[in-house]
Amino acid sequence: MRAAILFILALFMLQATETTAQVFFEQDFENGIEPMTLIDVDGLTPHPNVAAYPDAWNAANPAFGNGTNVAVSNSWYSPAGAADDWMITPAIEITNENTVVSWSAKAQDASFPDGYEVLVSTTGNEVADFTDVIFSTAAEVTEFTERSAALGDYVGQTIYIAWRNNSNDQFLLLVDDIKVEAIQALAVSATAFSTTQYHQILDDVEIITTITNDGANTINTLDVTWTDGTSTYTDNLTDLGLGNGQSIDYAHSTTFMPTAAITYDIQVTVSNPNGETDDETDNVVDGRISAVSVVPVKRMVLEEGTGSWCGWCPRGFVAMEDLIAQYPETFIGIAVHNGDPMAFAEYDNNIGLSGYPSCNADRVLLDVGVSTADFQSYYNQLTQRVSPASVDATAAFDPATGEVTIEAKATFRTLIDDLDMRMNVVILEDSIQGSGSGYNQANFYSFQSQNIPLVGAGLDWQAAPNPILAGDMYYNHVARAIIGGYFGENVFPDNVTADQEVTQTYTYTVPASYNPELMSAVVMLIDGNTGAIVNAGKAHFDILSSTQPELANERLDIFPNPATDIVNIALNLDGATSVDLTVFNAMGQTVATQYLGTLNGEVSVPFDASRLTSGAYTFRINLGNQVAVKQVIVE
Give the tens place of pLDDT for each residue, 577-632.
889 898 888 766 778 888 888 888 999 999 998 888 888 888 889 888 788 888 88
Q: Are residues 285 and 342 in the same domain?
A: no
Residue 15 belongs to a domain: no
Please tell me whether residue 257 adopts helix, strand or coil conformation.
coil
How far is 235 from 220, CA to CA, in rounded Å? 14
Q: What is the pLDDT of residue 547?
A: 53
Helices (H), 562-615: none
CA angle 571, 577, 578 (to 5 degrees): 100
How far is 336 from 343, CA to CA, in rounded Å? 7
- What type of residue is 74? N
Q: What is the CATH number of the domain that holds 281?
A: 2.60.40.10
Q: What is the DSSP letter of 128?
A: G
Q: For residue 344, which of 307, 375, 309 has the smallest C-alpha distance?
A: 307
Q: Are residues 435 and 578 in the same domain?
A: no
SS3 content of the chain, % helix, strand, coil (to 5): 10, 45, 45
Residue 166 belongs to a domain: yes
Q: What is the CATH number of the domain that holds 627?
A: 2.60.40.1930
pLDDT in tens, 490-521: 999 999 999 999 999 999 999 999 999 899 99
CA distances in angstroms from 4 to 8, 9, 10, 556, listed in the order given: 6, 9, 10, 70
Q: What is the CATH number of the domain that holds 162?
A: 2.60.120.200
The last residue of a domain, from among 543, 572, 593:
543
Q: For residue 101, which of 138, 68, 147, 159 has the smallest C-alpha distance?
A: 147
Q: Are residues 210 and 103 in the same domain?
A: no
pLDDT in tens, 17-76: 344 468 999 999 999 999 999 999 999 999 998 999 999 999 999 988 889 999 999 999
| Averaged pLDDT for residues 401-429 | 95
Per-residue pLDDT band at 458 (split at 50, 70, 90): confident
| Averaged pLDDT for residues 170-192 | 95
The last residue of a domain, from among 543, 572, 596:
543
Is the pLDDT at 11 greater than 80, yes or no? Answer: no
Which residues, 6+ apart, have CB-to-CB distance to 16 below 8 Å? none
User: Residue 83: which domain range?
Assistant: 22-176
Ramachandran assignment for 289, one of left (phi > 0), alpha (psi -120 to 50 degrees), beta (any other): beta
Q: Are residues 113 and 242 in the same domain?
A: no
- Per-residue burial over 377-406, b if 16 or more Cβ lie within 10 Å, else e, is ebbeebbebbbbbbbbbbbebeeeeeebbb
pLDDT in tens, 357-381: 999 999 999 999 999 999 999 999 9
β-strands 331-337, 300-306 pairing: parallel
Residue 458 belongs to a domain: yes
Contact assessment for residue 405 and residue 506, using Cβ atoms and an 8 Å cutoff? yes
Residue 181 belongs to a domain: no
Residue 13 belongs to a domain: no
Q: Is the bond preceding 467 in cis, omega lying within 30 degrees of 0?
A: yes
Per-residue pLDDT band at 322 (split at 50, 70, 90): very high
β-strands 70-74, 556-559 pairing: unpaired
Q: Are residues 379 and 470 in the same domain?
A: yes
How far is 610 from 567, CA to CA, in rounded Å? 9
Residue 6 belongs to a domain: no
In residues, how long is the chain?
635
Q: What is the pLDDT of residue 587?
A: 65
Q: What are phi and psi for residue 178, nearest 5 degrees?
A: -75, 135
More confident residue, 306 or 577: 306
Residue 510 belongs to a domain: yes
Sign of the CA dihedral with 290 first, then 295, 299, and 300 last: positive
Q: What is the pLDDT of residue 588?
A: 67
Q: What are phi and psi for residue 554, nearest 5 degrees?
A: -65, -15
Q: For residue 131, which of 121, 141, 139, 142 has the smallest C-alpha distance?
A: 121
Q: Are residues 505 and 576 in the same domain?
A: no
Q: What is the pLDDT of residue 171?
A: 95
Q: For residue 137, which of 99, 100, 101, 166 has the smallest C-alpha distance?
A: 166
Contact assessment for residue 436 and residue 281, using Cβ atoms and an 8 Å cutoff? no
Is the pLDDT at 546 greater than 60, yes or no? Answer: no
Q: What is the DSSP letter of 484?
A: S
H or E stretch including 13?
Answer: helix 2-13
Per-residue pLDDT band at 294 (split at 50, 70, 90): very high
Q: Are residues 484 and 514 in the same domain?
A: yes
- What type of residue is 528? G
pTM for this predicted structure: 0.78
Surface-to-core class of residue 161, CB atoms within 10 Å of its CB (0-12 exposed, 13-18 middle, 19+ buried) = buried
Surface-to-core class of residue 198, CB atoms within 10 Å of its CB (0-12 exposed, 13-18 middle, 19+ buried) = buried
How far is 146 from 176, CA to CA, in rounded Å? 9
Q: What is the DSSP string of 348-414?
A: HHHS--SSSSEEEETTTEEEE--SHHHHHHHHHHHTTSPPSEEEEEEEEEETTTTEEEEEEEEEE-S
Q: Are residues 554 and 538 in the same domain?
A: no
The last residue of a domain, from among 147, 176, 205:
176
How far is 594 from 410, CA to CA, in rounded Å? 43
Q: What are phi and psi for residue 491, nearest 5 degrees?
A: -110, 15
Q: What are phi and psi for residue 481, nearest 5 degrees?
A: -160, 160
CA distances in angstroms from 413 to 204, 286, 374, 410, listed in the order given: 18, 23, 31, 10
How far is 545 from 403, CA to CA, in rounded Å? 12
How far is 524 from 54, CA to CA, in rounded Å? 44
Q: Is the bond preceding 493 in cis, omega lying within 30 degrees of 0?
A: no
* Number of domains composing the chain: 4
pLDDT in tens, 89-107: 999 999 999 999 999 999 9
How far is 389 from 527, CA to CA, in rounded Å? 11
Q: Are residues 165 and 243 in the same domain?
A: no
Which residues, 6+ apart, have CB-to-CB distance to 137 below 8 Å? 115, 116, 117
Q: What is the pLDDT of residue 124?
A: 97
H or E stretch including 303?
Answer: strand 300-306
Q: What is the pLDDT of residue 544?
A: 80
Q: What is the pLDDT of residue 594?
A: 86
Q: Are residues 392 and 496 in the same domain?
A: yes
Per-residue pLDDT band at 2 (split at 50, 70, 90): very low
Largest CA-CA distance found in the chain, in angstroms, rounded: 100
CA distances in angstroms from 489 to 111, 469, 472, 482, 485, listed in the order given: 32, 40, 39, 11, 7
Q: Are residues 531 and 612 in the same domain?
A: no
Q: Are residues 327 and 452 in the same domain?
A: yes
